[in-house]
Structure 1
Amino acid sequence: MKNVIKKWNDISLILRIIIGLIIGIILALIVPQAAGISILGTMFVGALKAIAPLLVFILVMSSLAQASSGIGKQFRTVIFLYLFSTLLSSALAVCASFAFPVKLKLAEAAASETAPPSGMAEIFSNLLGNIVSNPIDALVNANYVGVLTWAIILGLALRNIASEHTKESLTELSNAVSQAVRWIINLAPFGIMGLVFTTVSQNGLGIFKDYGSLLLLLVGCMAVIALIIDPLIVALCLHRNPYPLVFRCLKESGLTAFFTRSSAANIPVNMALCDKLGLDKDIYSVSIPLGATINMNGAAITITIMTMAAVHTLDMSVNIPTALVLALLATLGACGSSGVAGGSLLLIPMACSLFGINNDIAMQVVSVGFIIGVLQDSCETAINSSGDVLFAATAEFRTWMKQGKEIKF
């Protein structure tokens, strides 16, 4: 048995995930009634979600407690790249919606009982409330804005007053949590198998038939961002071929995020990838959780395209200034979506209000989003999460280039 386990572990994790994916699809087609297989996916995502808040809290606090001076410029670069990419995503979605207008069958959409945010004021109120939430409550409820806030505060405090022995203890604790994360990630093939089985056995492909054009527009925009826009940004920053780094981020981060459908759950995966890339732990232990909060390309695309679909369905005319406002509103809303229950879909009514679309119609659009959410949310999470690593690495590699260090993707 030990030899079998060793041989299994010697296989590339990506190859093992692909094997798990294929087995999950086969089992879903052959024995769709075997619901017990789904528990593997539930346990895997549950384990990632359970460890992620603790990992973020300890890593960020430990990193800031021991951080050297002069890293602030890199953080500014990372934040700029996150926000700039999200804004470009919104702008692309607006242009695509004009070029390929999509109309929805709203009468067939079921109404949602979940209340969306009433506007940007409520989004910012939610964010500010999360910032000052009880730190224990933030850890328990995976409130990453609160987790980040308290980790930064305590890390900066410890940096000034903690002894070297205390800082070493924090490092050892950080290493222990990281090791636990590696054990969980090593079980990803089994988790992915369970997740794929659940998706295929419960939904199949027929569910997407009536909304194929909408899905195509959403996924197409996300593909353009992931394969053209983001690589162009990286190329301009690093002056070299970005695709080796882009494809590695998509393969090792985006693939897992596609099936877990949770940027928060994928934080440990992104941390591990940053470590493989040789990035500074002091930097990525803060920038990766930050990216899971504000780097929301996919969410910006979803909000914009779904809103424009509602506009086209109602045969409303849209001028360029209003479209630009929508792009900006979608960008700000996407960055705040992590603090709103229900994610990006529940921000659609807020964007629809820009065009005077009433809440009843807007919530029907939201319900369409939930219908296609199996694929839409998976693609959205994949480009969000892979982009977190892509831009964190780009900011640090840019610094390395100025210092004359060699860069290897």
Structure 2
Amino acid sequence: MLDFILRGKLVTQIIIGLIAGIILAAVSREAGMAVGLLGDVFVGALKAVAPILVFILVCAAITNHKKENKAQLGPVIRLYILGTFLAALLAVVASFLFPVTIALTVGAEDLTPPQGLGEVMKNILLQVVDNPVNALANANYIGILAWAIALGVILRHASDTTKALMADLEVAITVIVKTVIRFAPLGIFGIVASTIARTGFGTLVGYANLLALLIGCMIVMALVVNPLIVFLRLRQNPYPLVFTCLKESGITAFFMRSSAANIPVNLELCRRMGLDEETYAVTIPIGATVNMAGAAITITVMTLAAVNTLGIDVDFATALLLSVVAAVAAAGASGVAGGSLLLIPMAASLFGIDNATAMQVVSVGFIIGVLQDSAETALNSSTDVLFTAAGSYKQGDPYPRKLPPEAVPVDAVR
């Protein structure tokens, strides 16, 4: 049993934790609420390590980047941009084909969303120049990336001792995070049990159509649009690669609900796939911040649901503009749970929807977030690996049909 806990497949353990949480909540509501502490501790640990993980990984990768190494950063970033825009466009088309409405009677949260695209761009710029300590403390991933890239570029000219120190820090923080990840099954057990015990699934019934449209768009993006993008780049069957990413990365991201927290899983998956470390050490942390296809879908679908509810006519030009705005806004969404919801009022402002009404839509988003945010994160995080692989491979390169086993944290220390 101990060997299974320490060395067993993480996905299998997560599924066991999920089923156990559902059973416990069904048997005893009080017991389900009690084990919620396990979930709180796990989520707290993820929130604590994710910002420093992103900072050290990006900084160390750039610091130790060799000039003769030709990392495939450009193709991967272009795939990130294309995928996020197509996700927003897909959501627009789906919302026109299957219009949904929502009951805007939920009390608005006391939050302060951006009021327009200009303010979003201003906020992103201010996040870039944020104090590094403040950025780490508040999980400002855009600011963290900016400081990590700047320091990494400068430290490329540092002594070999400094570069070795950065490499050792990278190994150390990765081992710490992998250790935290090993407790994911217990954390998910606590999260699922307490969530079902507290709210059940009855609350979600009233928003079934909205959830179906959101998750349906994400499934189409994962199984149709993303494979098409990969096929057009590599000219071969993309589905072995797609299913590998969904299985090895998407499942864990679904339960963690944080792209940033899933970075160690993605890095390990890239290693097992035999990708160039110089590439994925940079593109995976960047993707967790800016590659947000799921967020683009959420922003677009929720906004158009409000538009349909209010009976506002939308022409194609405005819908296309919404796709662009949603893609830009998604890139500025936080890499943590619920990060995309506060950008809905900004998109809604394109249609003249006032802030109070838009905040009711945000509140609905928090209600359905149990499933919506999990599916969104699974799409976002698995796509990071998918596009990193697609950008690294060349036409005709064979995919690894059988991945080597996961590394155990102690091996990294050795």
For residue 297 of structure 2, what is the amino acid of its counterpart?
Answer: I
Contact 1:23–1:193 (CA<8 Å) still a contact in 2? yes
Aligned to 1:123: 120
- 1:94 aligned to 2:86? no
**What CA distance in whole angstroms lies between the structure 2 residues aligned with 1:89 and 1:338?**
18
Query: What is the CA–CA distance in structure 2 between the aligned matches of 1:116 and 1:60, rounded to whole Å?
Result: 29
Question: What is the SS of the residue equivalent to 2:18?
Answer: helix
Q: 1:335 to 1:10 in 2, by over 3 A?
A: closer
Unaligned segments of structure 2, at least 5 residues: 402-414
Amino acid at match of 1:156: V
Aligned partners of 2:84, 2:273: CA distance in 1, in Å? 24
Q: Identify the residue that residue 376 of structure 2 maps to in structure 1.
A: 380
Is 1:328 equivalent to 2:324 in the alignment? yes
Check whether the contact 2:257–2:337 (CA below 8 A) recurs between aligned residues: no
Q: Matches of 1:142 and 1:349 in 2, distance apart?
A: 22
- Report the alpha carbon displacement of residue 382 of structure 1 after superposing the two structures with TM: 1.1
Query: Counterparts of 1:5-404 in structure 2 under 5 Å?
Result: 5-34=2-31, 35-69=33-67, 74-106=72-104, 108-160=105-157, 162-338=158-334, 343-398=339-394
Are 1:97 and 1:305, in contact at CA under 8 Å, matched by a contact in 2?
yes
Root-mean-square deviation (CA, aligned residues, Å) is 2.0
Q: Is the 8 A contact 2:338 2:369 kept in 1?
A: no
Given that 1:302 and 1:344 are in contact with CA atoms closer than 8 Å, whether structure 2 keeps it comes out as yes
Q: State, as a whole percentage, how many aligned pairs show the same letter.
A: 54
TM value normalised by structure 1: 0.92
Contact 1:133 1:146 in 2 (8 A): yes
Tell me if the contact between 1:45 and 1:265 (Cα under 8 Å) persists in the aligned partners. no
Gaps of 5+ in 1: none
Q: In terms of mean alpha carbon deviation, does 223-232 or 310-319 score higher?
A: 310-319
Q: Report the CA distance between 1:140 and its aligned residue.
A: 2.1
Deviation at 1:81, TM superposition (A): 0.7
Task: Say how many residue pairs are matched.
Answer: 400
Residue 400 of structure 2 aligns with which residue?
408
Shift of the 156–380 alpha-carbon distance from structure 1 to 2, 3 Å rule, reads: same
Task: Return the alpha-carbon distance in structure 2 between the equivalents of residues 144 and 360 of structure 1.
Answer: 28
Q: d(CA) in 2 for partners of 1:389 and 1:227? A: 15
Paired with 2:252 and 2:198, the residues of 1 have a C-alpha distance of: 20
Whole-Å separation in 1 of the counterparts to 2:347 and 2:285: 26
Distance in 2 (CA, whole Å) between partners of 1:66 and 1:6 is 35
Q: Distance in 2 between matches of 1:102 and 1:82?
A: 28
Of Structure 1 and Structure 2, the greater helix share is in 1
Take 1:10 and 1:346, find their aligned partners in 2: how far apart are those partners? 39
Rounded to whole Å, the distance in 1 between the matches of 2:22 and 2:210 is 25
Distance 1:243 1:340, change over 3 A: closer
Name the CA distance, whole Å, in 2 between partners of 1:199 and 1:82.
Answer: 33
Structure 1 residues 173 and 215, CA gap change in structure 2 (3 angstroms): same
